[in-house]
Amino acid sequence: MNHTGHCLCGAVELRTTGAPEAMGYCHCTTCRTWASGPVVAFTIWKAEAVTITAGEEHVHTFEKTERSKRKFCRRCGSQLMIAIPTLDRVNVFATTLPTLVFKPSLHVNYAETVLPMRDGLPKLKDFPAEVGGSGESLPE
């Protein structure tokens, strides 16, 4: 199943193919600062499953680290996705894909939370071990 998404001004459009590999919430300071919110909802895709279909020329990339290329629309400032080249994955913000039913399965970087969420889902201190994190869980 495909989903299409776009930025606030509509200049940038993207398409995802298939289903995301994971969905959840990130509580890290970097995401919170970038998104101006207390938490962000992410969806993780294989890089090949995400295509920018219009407005590529408006997409600007900010790299705080080599691990994450944060892509946003230069016209309206909407945050679209974060490419993670070391894992060949792309994190598309759930809000960018309005037709995707968001079903979170975990929280990451919960050690940095400013908005504790008692939803019964696993709360990882940082990242899962399979992507280079400690894999450690924290209590709600």
Contact residues for Zn ion (CB under 5 A)?
7, 9, 11, 26, 28, 31, 73, 75-76
Residue 21 Cβ, how far from Zn ion at the closest point, in Å? 17
Nearer to Zn ion, 34 or 46 (CB): 34
Beta bridge partners of 30: none
Nearer to Zn ion, 18 or 114 (CB): 114
How many other CB atoms are there within 10 angstroms of residue 61's CB atom? 11
36: left (phi over 0), alpha (psi -120 to 50) or beta: left
**Strand duo 59-65 + 68-73: pairing:** antiparallel
Residue 34 Cβ, how far from Zn ion at the closest point, in Å? 8
Nearer to Zn ion, 1 or 66 (CB): 66
